[in-house]
Amino acid sequence: MTRIVYYTAATLNGFLADSNHSLDWLFAVDDAEGPDIGAFMDAMGVFVEGSSTYEWVLKAENLLAEPHKWQQYYGAKPTYVFTSRILPVPEGADVRFVSGAVADVLEEIKAAAGELDVWVVGGGDLAGQFLDVGALDELFITLAPAALVSGAPLLPRKVGADRLTLRSASQQGQFAVLNYEVLNPDVFVVPGAGAAGEDAGEPQ
């Protein structure tokens, strides 16, 4: 069964990027033995990201000018980008723009993944939108030895130990890798349908 996994690097104090969307703090880590995501990538059939993350990837990898790199990273697997805007697409890339409630596109995203899993790349609020509707199954957080004063948050939601179970904690180079199972009670099906949990979607 397709699982939806939020995998990201973060600072010790829970940021994905600084206030200018920079990942300098991450690239400054000596990652000679850092996380190898090759096997993880192979298990993913679909990538999901918000528009800031998508625009960061386009720019950082110069993908509009060098679209062949997209296939190197993502192959033919589709990427769903949540946005209210019209954004450019690297030539030949399977990028699908969606907008609005996660619940409305959830089945489409899962179907696109086939037998494989879905990687929610980020940002944190988008991962939270999946959590809100009981659709997030797993977290992989690689904590870097860094902290920031402000920036893009890892998971801006109120969520407690009743919904998160630590499955493993390991060291990979300078990163601490935390893997959590997310418990999704049946009542967390779809906010708006009258069945959401009482804290679903409540920002901290």
Residues that bind ligand NAP (CB under 6 A): 8-10, 16-17, 21, 23, 26, 49-53, 56, 82-85, 99-100, 121-126, 129, 152
Q: Which is nearer to ligand NAP, 82 or 180 (CB)?
A: 82
- Measured at the CA of 108, the angle between CA 42 and CA 122, to 5 degrees, comes to 55
For residues 191 and 204, the answer to whether their CB atoms sit within 8 Å is no
Q: Which is nearer to ligand NAP, 51 or 179 (CB)?
A: 51
- Give least dist CB 76 to ligand NAP, A: 22
- Give least dist CB 129 to ligand NAP, A: 6
**DSSP state letter for 187:** G
Q: Which is nearer to ligand NAP, 120 or 182 (CB)?
A: 120
Instruction: Check residue 30 and give left, alpha or beta (phi > 0: left; psi -120 to 50: alpha).
Output: beta
- Give least dist CB 162 to ligand NAP, A: 25
Q: State the number of CA atoms in the 13 A half-sphere of 102 facing the CB.
A: 23
Residue nearest to ligand NAP (CB): 50
- Give least dist CB 40 to ligand NAP, A: 13
Beta strands in 32-151 (DSSP E): 44-50, 79-82, 95-98, 117-122, 138-144
Q: Which is nearer to ligand NAP, 49 or 137 (CB)?
A: 49
**DSSP state letter for 99:** -
